[in-house]
Amino acid sequence: METDQGQISEFFGREWDRLAGFVRRHLEDSADRDATDLVQDVFASLFERADPIQEIENVSAFVYRSLRNRIVDTIRKRKPHVSFDSPLNDEEGLCLADILPAPGDSPLDDQLSRQREEAFAAAFEALSDRDRDLIVANEFEGRTFRELSEESGEAIGTLLSRKSRAVARLAAAMAEHNPHT
C-alpha cells in the first residue's frame, strides 16, 4: 500500500489515544505530556518524511516501532534517581543504606552508631582519591558512568570495576561494625 500524507494524518487522528496509551504503559512514571509529546514527535517526523513515492507496507507497525525506539531513547536519557535503598551494583546487591551507619534509640546504639560512623569515615578515607571521587560523583551527584567516562577518558567497564572493588572494600571494612552480620 502506498502511503501519503493524508493517510498518515487520518491514521494519527484515529489512533492518537491508543498511541499515547502505548507510550504511557511503557513509561510508567511519565507525565501525560511526555506521552503525547512522543506521539507528536513521531507524527511530525513521519509526516515530514512521508513521500508518496516511498512505500510503507504497514503504517501502524512503522509508527509503533518508531514509538518504541523513542521510548527507549527517552529511558536511556533519563538520569537515574539516586537512593540509599537502590543497589550500588547488580553483582553484590549492596545498597548505600547497608553500609552507612543507622541512628539508634539507646545510648548503646548511639555509641555503636558513632563507632560505625568513625569506621565508615576511616574506610572511606582509606580509599584512593580516584575511588572516593568516583563514588561521590556517581552516588551523591547522580552522574552517569558515561559522563564520568567521557570526562576521565577511562572505559565505562573500568569505572564500574573500580567502583565495585571500592564498595566491596567499604563493605568488608564495615562488616565488623554491622550488628546484622
Domain boundaries defined on the chain: 5-77, 96-175
Residue-wise pLDDT for 139-171, tens only, equals 888 899 999 999 999 999 999 999 999 999 888
Which stretches of the chain are DSSP H helices? Answer: 5-26, 32-49, 59-77, 96-99, 107-126, 129-135, 145-152, 156-175
CATH code at 96-175: 1.10.10.10
Rounded CA separation 6/51 (Å) = 11
Higher pLDDT, 28 or 35: 35
Domain 5-77 grouped into CATH 1.10.1740: yes
pTM (predicted TM-score): 0.40
